[in-house]
Amino acid sequence: MSKAQQEAIKERSMVLQKDMLAKQFTELSQAKELGKKVVYTFVPGNLTELILSFDLLPVYPEINALQSGMRKKSAAYIRDAEKIGYSEDVCTYVKCDIGMMLNGNIGPTGEKLPEPDLLLLSYTGCYTFMKWFENLERLYPGVPVAMLHTPYQEDGIITQDQVDYMVKQLREEVIPKMEMVSGKKFDMDRLSAMMENSVKSEDLLVKVLESAKSVPTPIDAYFAGVYYIGPIFTAFRGTSEAVEYYQELWNEVQQRAAAGLGPVTPEGELKEEKFRLVMEGPPNWTNFREFWKIFYDMGAVIVASTYTKVGGTYDTGFRHDPTQPLESLAKYCMNCYTNLNLPQRIDLIENYVKEYKADGFLINSIKSCNSFSAGQLMIMREIEKRTGVPVGFIESDLVDPRYFSYANIKNRLESYFQMLEQRKIILAQQ
């Protein structure tokens, strides 16, 4: 195979996103020289519009960790964290991040990432986030921490007292620290204006994701979906660049749908859609391309996924509200996927299986992510019971390559696809 053939096929939206990210990381590498202040924070429950409204630059340690995984750097970083006492059992994102820091904090573009001026602990849907930033607070002594505690949707609803609790924290804990670090006063009008852009991006993202209801689907909502959510889940929500990206993406998806084309894979367009799947759980990043290839080689496409909702469940109707910016940030945080209770998660997946006409439901269970993984076997049973589709279960890890067993996963998936094939034949005969 020639070098040109080996390179992934890229659409214009992909190039656009690549440029956005390159610009972002260049800006980060020059932050100190440019006098820009830097905020470390998380993807689920991120407060990007608020951060940007103070002209602060956000850094997302999870994104750094997954990028390290994709660049085959994570194994060494994890080993270094384990050498200083972190257990083999704990979250590998945390260990990868700490290992990266121990090795000079070199970011995805090969440039050094700036140290934080503020640690914004947006504690949404993952208990480990709190432990992670407690550790970072010790590793960056003197850097202020702003804690935003997001209540869990224990009853499957968001109550007014929960919203009040979060808004009070935003007003009295988060915003004052951002003012202190940035030297700027909070500007509600600026935040509100950004949210108008957020809504436009959110509308477009939902259209893109819901295009997978078509048979055949013009997109893969997991392997390609993780790219689609990039700008809106990270540093760009609320910006005009994000709106431009999602408009471009939506245009491309519409064109593909009109032409009856399947999803774009790294080796070109998927020619035949054989299996439509709903996927639960994050992907493995260390062997992402190999993992994806197992699917598209078998004609399997992911039509809906829960991972693409960790940074917001826009497809169930939530939108940022420019008329109530702080309240809507609170509701946004509480609506992220891992902040939903288990029955809500099951309901959501059941709807996906039905609305997206899925042939099966598959879980990629992550060894070091309790937030996702604890309870997944019950989710699997419930989905099988409610929908009747065959369910599958594979195991890997986020960024620890020791827990990605290619042969094992391939064997399991091939057996699973055979089962789906058989079922299709039986259903066709009935």
Partner 1 sequence: MNRLEQILAYCEKTAFDLHFTDAKKWKAASADRVLVGYLPIYFPREVVHAAHGLAVGIMGSGDRKQIIKGDAYYQSYICHLPRGVIEMGLDDNLQDFDGFVFPAICDCVRNLSGMFRITGNGKFSRYFDYPQNFQKHIGGDFYREEILKILDDVKQVNGVKPDKAALNKSIGLYNANRRLIERIYDIRQEYPWRLSAVETYHIIRAGLAITVEEHNSLLEEVVSIIENNERGEPMDNIRVVVTGSFCEQPPIGLIKSVEMAGCYIVDDDFMLGARWIQGDVDDTTDSPIDALVTAYLNQSTFSSAVYDVGNPKGKRLVELARQRKADGIIFSAASFCDPALLDRPEMQKECDAAGIPHINFQFHENTGQFKVIKEQAGTFSDSIKLWA
Residues that bind partner 1 (CB under 8 A): 84-87, 89-91, 94, 121, 123, 126-128, 130-135, 137-138, 145, 147, 149, 151-152, 154, 159, 161-162, 164-165, 168-169, 172-173, 341-343, 345-346, 365, 367-368, 370-371, 373-378, 382, 395
Based on CB atoms, which residue is closest to partner 1, 238 or 283?
283
Nearer to partner 1, 59 or 136 (CB): 136
**Half-sphere exposure in the Cβ direction for 170 (13 Å, CA):** 23
Minimum distance, C-beta of residue 303 to partner 1, in the bound complex (Å): 25
Beta strands in 298-359 (DSSP E): 300-305
Long-range contacts of 132-136 (CB under 8 A, 24+ apart): 132/61, 132/91, 132/93, 132/94, 132/97, 133/40, 135/94, 135/98, 136/40, 136/61, 136/97
Tokens for 216?
Answer: 């055949």
* In the complex, minimum distance from the CB of residue 264 to partner 1, in angstroms, rounded to a whole number: 33
- Closest to partner 1 by CB, 50 or 221: 50
As measured in angstroms, the least distance from the Cβ of 154 to partner 1 is: 4
Pick the closer one to partner 1 by CB: 276 or 345. Answer: 345
Q: Which is nearer to partner 1, 253 or 363 (CB)?
A: 363
Cβ distance to partner 1 smaller for residue 36 or 149: 149
As measured in angstroms, the least distance from the Cβ of 47 to partner 1 is 16
* DSSP for 244-309, written as a single string: HHHHHHHHHHHHHHHTT---EETTEE-----EEEEEESPPPSTTHHHHHHHHHHTTEEEEEESGGG
Are 225 and 281 a contacting pair, CB within 8 Å?
Answer: no
Smallest distance, partner 1 to C-beta of residue 321, A: 22
Between 192 and 365, CB nearer to partner 1: 365
| Smallest distance from partner 1 to CB 121, Å | 8
Instruction: Look up residue 39 and give its amino acid.
Output: V
In 3D space, the residue among 309, 305, 284 whose CA is nearest the CA of residue 232 turns out to be 309
Q: Which stretch of DSSP H or E encloses residue 363?
A: strand 360-366
Residue with smaller CB distance to partner 1, 89 or 272: 89
Q: Nearest approach, Cβ of 368 to partner 1 (angstroms)?
A: 7
Task: Report the nearest approach of partner 1 to the CB of residue 322 (Å).
Answer: 25
Nearest to 219 by CA among 208, 204, 227, 229: 208
Contact in structure between 275 and 360 (CB atoms under 8 Å): yes
Cα–Cα distance, 292 to 283 (Å, whole number): 9
Buried b (16+ CB within 10 A) or exposed e, 307-342: bbbbbbbbbeebbbbbeebbbbbbbbbbbbbbbbee
Closest to 212 measured CA to CA, from 357, 14, 314, 12:
357
* Distance of closest approach, residue 317 Cβ to partner 1, in angstroms: 22
* Nearer residue to partner 1 within complex by CB, 107 or 116: 116
